[in-house]
Structure 1
Amino acid sequence: MAFTAADVKNLREMTGVGMMDCKKALTASEGDIEKAVEWLREKGMAASAKKAGRIAAEGMSYAAVIDGVGIVVEVNAETDFVAKNEKFVEFVKGVAATVAKQNPADLDALMECKYEGTDLTVTQQQQEMVLVIGENIKVRRFARYADGVSVPYVHAGGKIGVLVNLSVEGGIDATEIGKDVAMQIAALNPRFWDKSQVTQDVLDEEKKIMMVQMENDPKMASKPEQVREKIVMGKLNKFYAENCLLQQEFVKDNTTSVEKYMASAAKALGGGVSFKDAVRFETGEGIEKKEENFAAEIASLVK
C-alpha cells in the first residue's frame, strides 16, 4: 500500500518520531499507519506514542541571546506545573541553544538537528523528556535573529517570551531601551509594529466602521460628509496610537510615544536606535485547550 507525505506527517504527530524514521516505518508497514506505530514502538522509538496525542497547551516561551544570536522558542507541556520543572526548563534552554548554533530552516529541520551537547536529535531528546516527566511535550515554534542587536524579555516565568531586534548606532548599550520596548510588546500585544504596516484593506474597514457609527449618532449624522471625513481621519490617528507599537503611548511615560522614547533615550546615551523587528510568543495561544470536567470524570469512574 502506498503512502503520502500527509501520512508521514500524521504518523509523526501521533508518535513524535522524526520524519525519516516515520518514512521507514511506513515503508516497512506498507503504508499501514497502525502497523507503522507498532513498528516504531518495537524499535523503541515510540514509547511515548499514547502521550503524543494529548493536548499540550501549557509550557514555556523563552527568549535569550546566545553568542550574539537572538532566539525565542515555545515548548508546550500539558500542565502549568511542568513549566516550572527544572528538567523541562533545561530542555527548553537546550532547544534555544540548538536553534542559535545550528540555524535550522524550519521546525521540521530543527527536530532533525542534534540536540546541543548530545548525540540525540531534538525529536529523540523530546521523547526522552516525555518519558522522564510523564507528560506530552512538544517543541512548537521558534524565531531567530543573527543580525542587529537583539534584546530578550521573558514575562511571568515563560507565559510570554519577547525578542526585540534593533539597529544600534554609536556603540551604545541599548539593552534597557530594548527591554522597555519588549515589555511594552508583552503588555499590549500591538497588531502592527509601525503605522506603515497597516494595509489599505484594514484602513478601509476601520473607516467604514467609523462612518457607520457616525451615521447612527444623531449629532454626527447631521454633519456634512466632508466634516465626517475629517473626523474619521482624526480617529485613524487614534487607531494608530492604539494598534501600532511605535505610535503607541509609552507605558512607562504616558507623555510620549514609543518611537519618541527610543529616539530620546538613545540620544541621551550618545547614539541612535531604530526598531527593526520583534517576535512575541504567548504560551499556548491558538491551541484549543481541553476543558476538564472533574465531576463527570469521577462519576464515570464509579459507575
Structure 2
Amino acid sequence: MRVIDLHCDALFKLWESGGTLDYGRSEELAANRERLIQGGVQVQCYAIFVPPEVKAEHKLQAALDQIHYFYDEVLGRHPDFRHIQAWEDFDKLQDGEIGAMLTLEGAEPIGSDLKQLNILYQLGVRSIGLTWNDANLAADGVLEPRGAGLTVLGKDIVRFNNRHKLFTDVAHLSEKGFWEVMELADYPIASHCNARAVCDHPRNLYDAQAKALFDRDAMIHVVYYPPFVKENGQAALTDLIRHIDHFCSLGGVRNIGLGSDFDGIEQFVDGLEHAGKLPNLMNELLKHYKEEEVRGFASENFLRCRPR
C-alpha cells in the first residue's frame, strides 16, 4: 500500500533541535526517512508550525527556518525525495521516490500581511490552515471560548487559496469558522481530524461538518493521536478504524485519508508508534474493507480529490 500522509510535524522537531537531528534516521523522529520507507509512505506532507510562545515579531522567521530545514535536511540530503509543488507532481513520482509537500498549520507567521503568505506560497506551501487551537488575526481555533469565525484577513486568505488552487485546512478551526470556510473555500480539506460522534473531543468533527465535506467531495484525513481516537484510555488500531467506519456510514468511503500528526504527538495508538508501523494499520483495515477501499484510504481517494 502506498500511503499519502497529509500531516506531520517533523519540521517543527528539526527546528526545535536547532538542526541537530538527522532526518534520515534519528530515533526522535517518528516520520524520518527510514520509517517512511519502512511504512510505504509515497508522499509526506510537512507542516510548518510556530508555537504560541514565539513572539509575534519572530514568527515569520521561525516559519522560514523550518522551510530551510525542509530544503536543506529533508530534500537536500536525500536524493530520493521529490518536492511536490504542483498537483500534477503526484503523478510524476517514480518507484522508490518519496514526494514531500509543505503545509502551514496556523496563519500566525504572516501577521496581517498577505504578501508574507505569498512568500510562503512561492516557497512551496500548498495547504493552509488558518489557526492552531487558539485565536489569531485570521480566525478562532477550537479552544478559543469566544467561538468566533473568520476575520476579514481570514476571508482574504481563503480567497488567496482559491486563486492559487491551495487547500484551506479546517483542522483546528472553530465550528463557526468551519462553516464560513465551507461557504468561501473552493478547496476545503481536513488534514488531521476524527469523528466527534466516536470520540467527543473539540478537535474532532461533528457529523454535519463531515457530511458537508463529503457533499463537496472533500477529504477528511483521520489522525492517530489517542485523545482524538478514544475517550479515557489507550487506543488500539480497531479504535482508529471506528472513526473510518463512522465516516463511511456518513457516505465518505471515497473521501477518507490519513493524517498521522507524527512528531506533533507524544502518545500513540498501539501498533502505530511511528511511520514504519503503517503496515499494521493497512493489514487491520484489510480485515474490515475491500482492498480497493483500503487503497482509497491510503492514497487514491486523495489523488482523486486533489485540485486540478
Fold shared by both chains (TM-score > 0.5): no
Structure (1 or 2) with the greater helix fraction: 1
**TM-score, scaled to structure 1:** 0.22
Larger radius of gyration: 1
Structure (1 or 2) with the greater strand fraction: 1
**TM-score, scaled to structure 2:** 0.22
